[in-house]
Structure 1
């Protein structure tokens, strides 16, 4: 399942005990701020969460329907999750799975 911006903000409102409107504004502001820093070639490190940065993909030869083609050098946004975030995700999944197994 893919969560969209509205669904993300609504969950944030639930978790934070704030209005959906406030959560949606906070999400918009968060995204805008990330865009601002990345457009200035700044890396963004959020402790316990991860790192965002603009990376460069070098030119390479690709394959398009059996024909080789040149994919030009281009920039993209990379994200690297922190070890703490990955540990938390695994812990939450384990707890949820144990809850499911206990019911069955």
Structure 2
């Protein structure tokens, strides 16, 4: 099952509901966090979350490509992409160790 934004909001509210976190407050927190992350990456800056991993913005140069539908050669424009590298602790948890 894929973890969605709605599921994150729901789980946050469940975990912190006893502390007065309503569903709308949980939604506001998640939206604010995602906005901060998007704004940071838009500036080309990386995001490092200890114990979780690192989101990196990387530059890709212009390169030759091929249209898969027609097979025609074409030039792909330079662009920025986001990569994620998980932390060692997260990798251990994913692979069964805690």
The structure with higher relative contact order (CA 8 Å, sep 6+) is 2
RMSD: 2.0
Aligned equivalent of 1:37: 40
For structure 2, the residue ranges without an aligned partner over 5 or more in a row are: none
TM-score (norm 1): 0.73
Tell me the number of residue pairs that the alignment of Structure 1 and Structure 2 aligns.
92
Tell me how far apart the structure 2 counterparts of residues 53 and 43 of structure 1 sit (CA, whole Å). Answer: 5
Number of the residue aligned with 2:86 = 81
Match of 1:97 in 2: none
Query: Which structure has the highest helix share of the two?
Result: 1
Greater CA drift, 50-59 or 11-20: 11-20
**In 1, Cα distance between equivalents of 2:5 and 2:96:** 25
Please, which runs of 5 or more residues in structure 1 have no aligned partner? 93-104
C-alpha separation in 1, matches of 2:57 and 2:35: 15
Compute the TM-score of the two structures, normalised by the length of structure 2. Answer: 0.76
